[in-house]
């Protein structure tokens, strides 16, 4: 009898776990959704991608309702924004010793991740005849290991991070382990990222990085308390929005759908905050069809941008 009960319990738990992978798109209010200000077209602004490393995953582990058998490449990247006033990285990509950095992540992630290193950020810069000095700034979408790894080779470049994210990274949070390790090795050149530039579309506050509307940072708390998203208005008239890890896939915005429960548990600080952001991003995409929304890890979307 006891065995039967235990078996039943296991089956119920497995069914419950299975349910967390079933597609359940978030509900989106009807109506048009928020329109963005016109694209600020500034001469000499471009955005490209340094593809630092790949990790193999399955679609279904990245977005709720995705196929559990469909392979998905998780790209670990830095975005390079060129502007007449300077060159800025959005996230730091990976360091030369990214394999050691992977050791700071939870066991499950380490075990599942099959990491292929392609080009550490510093090597991508060097190959183009550039040095860390040629970077004006690094803006962090958030403080998790796969976004800060590259800082290890870019020590003197100013790093922009929100006070909320800095506090989170320096707390006991599991996701901030590598960040704390890097800071313990030697101090980073931190700059406080605050939002004093007024509304931008549906975002109540913003930070106009070059003060010409070309690169606009907005708060996007949820995945972490101090996550930010970055609008880049390109010379071509195209506008992109880098959303960090609010979603790992474009389906997360298109359907919209959150990460499956296991992934949320491991990486998202505030799951309900993430859901709100996903609904907003879905509405934003609907009202601004020309906007390219770029999850930090969706290699299929990265392929639509220029390679550095
Ligand atoms: Zn990430």
pLDDT tens-digit readout, 249-267: 999 999 999 999 988 988 9
Q: Would residue 9 count as lying in a domain?
A: no
Distance 42 CA to ligand 1 centre (A): 29
Q: If you measure from the C-alpha of residue 112 to the centroid of ligand 1, how many angstroms do you get, rounded to a whole number?
A: 15
Those residues whose beta carbon sits under 5 angstroms from the ion ligand 1 are 146, 245
Ligand 1 centroid–CA 93 distance in Å is: 10
Give me the CATH number covering residue 221: 3.60.15.10
Whether 25 is covered by a domain: the verdict is: no
> Is 282 a domain residue?
yes
> Using CA atoms in the order 84, 89, 95, 99, what is the torsion angle rounded to 10 degrees?
-150
Q: Which two tokens stand for residue 56?
A: 């193999």
CA of 12 to the centre of ligand 1 (A): 32
Asked whether residue 11 is assigned to any structural domain, the reply reads no
Phi/psi-derived region of residue 66, left when phi > 0, alpha when psi is between -120 and 50, beta in every other case? beta
Question: Domain residues for 110?
Answer: 38-307
Residue 2: inside a domain, yes or no? no
What's the pLDDT tens digit per position in 52-109? Answer: 999 998 899 999 999 989 999 999 999 999 999 999 999 999 999 999 999 999 888 8
Tell me if 71 is assigned to some domain: yes
Q: What distance in angstroms lies between residue 244's CA and the mean position of ligand 1's atoms?
A: 7
Please list the residues that pair with 213 across neighbouring strands: none
Let me know how many helices (H) and strands (E) the chain has, helices first: 12, 13
Q: Say how many CA atoms lie within 13 Å of 87 toward its Cβ.
A: 15
**C-alpha of 121 from chain center:** 16
Backbone angles phi, psi at 57, to 5 degrees: -145, 180
CA of 149 from ligand 1 middle (Å) equals 11
**Measured between alpha carbons, how far is 154 from 220 in angstroms, rounded to an integer?**
25
DSSP letter at 290? T
Number of domains in the chain: 1
In the reported structure, the alpha carbon of residue 261 is separated from the centroid of ligand 1 by a whole-number distance in angstroms of: 16
Question: Cβ-count burial of 238 within 10 angstroms (0-12 exposed, 13-18 middle, 19+ buried)?
Answer: middle
Distance 144 CA to ligand 1 centre (A): 6
User: What is residue 227's predicted lDDT score, i.e. its pLDDT?
Assistant: 98
- Residue 10 domain-assigned? no
Record the pTM.
0.95
Q: Work out the average pLDDT over 227-240.
A: 94
pLDDT band (50, 70, 90) for residue 124: very high
Answer yes or no: is 6 within a domain: no
- Label residue 280 by pLDDT band (50, 70, 90): very high
């Amino acid at each position: 009898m006891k065995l039967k009960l235990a078996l039943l319990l296991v089956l119920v738990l497995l069914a419950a776990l299975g349910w967390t992978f079933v597609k359940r798109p978030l509900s989106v209010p009807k109506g048009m959704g928020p329109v963005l200000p016109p694209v600020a077209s500034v001469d000499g602004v471009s955005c490209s991608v340094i593809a630092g490393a790949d990790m193999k995953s399955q679609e279904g582990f990245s977005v709720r309702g995705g196929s559990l058998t469909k392979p998905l490449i998780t790209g670990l990247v830095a975005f390079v924004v060129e502007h007449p006033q300077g060159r800025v990285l959005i996230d730091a990509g990976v360091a030369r010793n990214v394999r050691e950095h992977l050791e700071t992540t939870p066991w499950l992630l380490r075990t599942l991740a099959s990491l292929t290193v392609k080009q550490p950020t510093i090597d991508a810069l060097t190959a183009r005849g550039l040095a860390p000095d040629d970077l004006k700034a690094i803006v962090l979408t958030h403080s998790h290991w796969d976004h800060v790894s590259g800082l290890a080779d870019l020590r003197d470049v100013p790093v922009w991070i929100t006070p909320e994210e800095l506090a989170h990274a320096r707390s006991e949070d599991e996701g901030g382990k590598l960040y704390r390790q890097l800071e313990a090795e030697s101090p980073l050149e931190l700059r406080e990222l605050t939002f004093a530039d007024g509304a931008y579309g549906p975002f109540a506050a913003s930070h106009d990085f070059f003060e010409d509307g070309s690169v606009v940072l907005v708060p996007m708390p949820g995945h972490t308390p101090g996550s930010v998203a970055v609008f880049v208005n390109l010379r071509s008239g195209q506008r992109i929005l880098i959303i960090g890890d609010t979603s790992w896939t474009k389906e997360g915005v298109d359907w919209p759908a959150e990460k499956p429960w296991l992934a949320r548990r491991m990486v998202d600080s505030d799951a309900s905050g993430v859901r709100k952001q996903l609904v907003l991003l879905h509405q934003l995409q609907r009202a601004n069809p020309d906007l390219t929304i770029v999850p930090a890890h969706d290699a299929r979307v990265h392929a639509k941008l220029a390679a550095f």
